[in-house]
Amino acid sequence: MSATNSFAGLQATLDQLLANDNLRSLRTLEKREGAYVWLAGKKYLNCSSNDYLGLAVDLSLQNIFFALRTQANSLSEYSPGASSSRLLTGTQAPHVRLEKTLAQRYNREAALSFTSGYHANVGILPALLSPQDMVFSDRLNHASLIDGIRLSGAKLYRYHHLDYAHLKQLLQKHRAQGKNAVIITESIFSMDGDVADLPQLVTLKQKYSAWLYVDEAHAVGVCGNSGLGVSETTNTIQDIDFLVGTFGKALAALGAYLVADQVVKDYLINTMRSFIFTTALPPIQTQWLNFLWEQLPQLQSRRDHLKYLAAQFRTALKIAGLQTRGESHIIPILLGENAQTLRTANFLQENGFLLFAIRPPTVPKGTSRLRISLTADMTWQDLEPIVPLIKSML
């Protein structure tokens, strides 16, 4: 059998994805400048970035950071690679400082860092849970959470999105049947931009003797007076058993972290496969993160600007009669079918706005959408033309 024939099934799948307007491809970014990017020689407003505070393109901040590097400390603390897993020789002084800072900022016993948010969720949950345990998960939780739950083997109960009456029914019916139970949610949901009711989840987890696992990936840096997330805004940090955050979005870096009790950190160091068998974060990344955590409380003006942009944008959508959801800096515009969504996304790209069609399986069938990610380096003048352009396509 030739190599071509042996992959015929793969090609058939790709052909079907193309026929369904669901084929994806990679694009090479040529240059970034503030809220704008260049692709294939054309300038676009970048509406698809997770750089919510604009830190990834803040050259003045980066210049301050690199000025801290000296010949004496460059090799050990600004190395481009850790060259080992954390349990061998990968743990270095910047990692230790970062985790101490995280624990102090959240006023928790311990913190543990990871090489990505995906690694965190697919590693923590299987380490903690077994087939004798149960999970109560929001139906729209991120793929990394879903994969972590599957790997754990725990019994899964999915509650309707943000429907805590349904969650309560499931807890009442099933909680007594398992050993440990965990309620899992994102704080800001990545595709709808809506926000979980963390105080209500705390009440339910206490009433039914469950753990609460909150992924703050899209809230860290953006929400709270210090940028700690929705948990800071709602004063629930101390009530969340497993609080996961990411470095790869508003903090313009790589990796993720967990803040929890010390016993949880010690347990995961010994049992979490995606931690044990992965090279540590590069020291230069952890140095950048140590630097940024010092800046984070002083970035309130950027957080306020994001809120202003989100309010302006949602008002414009409402006036235009377009369907949206949520209440955060992530703004979905629901168009329904793949073909219409692709046509609209392509039209916006032709007019200088870099955003893409979000389609199944990322979102449920029939809810294909445009997803606008606002960043603090945008202005309302940058964004204002988008709504009439979308309206003209419908």
Strands (E), the chain: 31-33, 36-39, 42-46, 110-114, 134-138, 155-159, 181-186, 211-215, 242-246, 256-260, 330-336, 353-354, 357-358, 368-373
9-29 burial code (b ≥16 CB/10 A, e <16): eeeeeeeeeeeebbeeeeeee
Task: Point out the catalytic residue in the list 190, 274, 328, 373.
Answer: 190
Cα–Cα distance for residue pair 214/202, rounded to 1 Å: 11
Structure tokens at 37: 């990017």
User: Is 116 noted as a catalytic residue in this protein?
Assistant: no
Q: Give every CB contact of residue 185 below 8 A, 6+ residues apart in sequence.
A: 137, 138, 141, 196, 198, 201, 212, 213, 214, 215
User: Is 218 noted as a catalytic residue in this protein?
Assistant: yes
Task: Point out the catalytic residue in the list 249, 265, 305, 329.
Answer: 249
Q: Angle 333-339-343 (CA atoms, 0-180°, nearest 5)?
A: 70
Could you give the 3-state DSSP secondary structure of residue 377?
Answer: coil
Lateral strand order in the sheet of 368-373: 330-336, 368-373, 357-358
- Please give, one letter per residue, the 3-state secondary structure of 39-67: ECCEEEEECCCCCCCCHHHCHHHHHHHHH
Q: Per DSSP, what are the bridge partners of residue 333?
A: 324, 370
Task: Point out the catalytic residue in the list 95, 119, 142, 218.
Answer: 218
For 210, half-sphere exposure in the C-beta direction (CA atoms, 13 angstrom radius) is 29
Lateral strand order in the sheet of 181-186: 110-114, 256-260, 242-246, 211-215, 181-186, 134-138, 155-159
Question: Do 315 and 325 meet the contact criterion of CB atoms below 8 Å apart?
Answer: no
| Residues labelled as active-site residues | 190, 218, 249
